């Protein structure tokens, strides 16, 4: 596990010939991203009740929307690393 990091950073469940694999740090990053999306949209919605703060609310909605685009990026990076891990694992067997 030289390039992959420490073994405790990964979870692995064997189900017959299939393995369910995930890297814990990706799950944490994804959860933090989802939490922040909720915060931005909640605060933006509250600010929309006040005419003087609507512009800030709009910017928070835009920020939340950008973070919604980050979600699939995190998943793509995870899938890329998973594919690389699986290829290396099959070569070593």
Domain presence at residue 7: no
Domain presence at residue 71: yes
Q: What is the pLDDT of residue 91?
A: 66
CA atoms within 13 A on the CB side of 64: 18
Domain presence at residue 5: no
Round to the nearest angstrom and report the end-to-end CA distance of the chain: 14
Domain presence at residue 67: yes
Mean pLDDT of 55-72: 96
As a whole number, the mean pLDDT across the chain is: 81
Domain presence at residue 1: no
User: Which carries the bigger pLDDT value, residue 62 or residue 85?
Assistant: 62
Say yes or no to pLDDT of 6 above 70: no
Domain presence at residue 19: no
User: Which carries the bigger pLDDT value, residue 64 or residue 75?
Assistant: 64
Q: How do residues 12-57 score in pLDDT, each as one tens digit?
A: 665 544 455 566 778 888 899 999 999 999 999 999 999 999 999 9
Domain boundaries, position 38: 24-82
CA distances from 73 to 15, 22, 48, 64 (A): 27, 16, 29, 15
DSSP 51: G
Domain presence at residue 30: yes
Domains: count for the chain: 1
Domain presence at residue 12: no
User: What gap in Å lies between CA 15 and CA 13, rounded to an integer?
Assistant: 6
Q: What is the pLDDT of residue 7?
A: 63
């Amino acid at each position: 596990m030289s390039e992959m990091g420490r073994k405790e950073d990964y979870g692995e469940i064997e189900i017959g010939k299939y393995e369910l694999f995930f890297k814990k740090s990706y799950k944490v990053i994804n959860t933090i991203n989802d939490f922040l999306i909720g915060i931005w949209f909640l605060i933006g919605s509250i600010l929309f009740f006040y005419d003087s703060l609507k512009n800030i609310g709009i910017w928070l909605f835009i920020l939340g929307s950008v973070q919604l685009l980050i979600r699939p990026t995190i998943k793509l990076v995870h899938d890329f690393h998973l594919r690389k891990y699986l290829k290396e694992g099959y070569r070593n067997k």
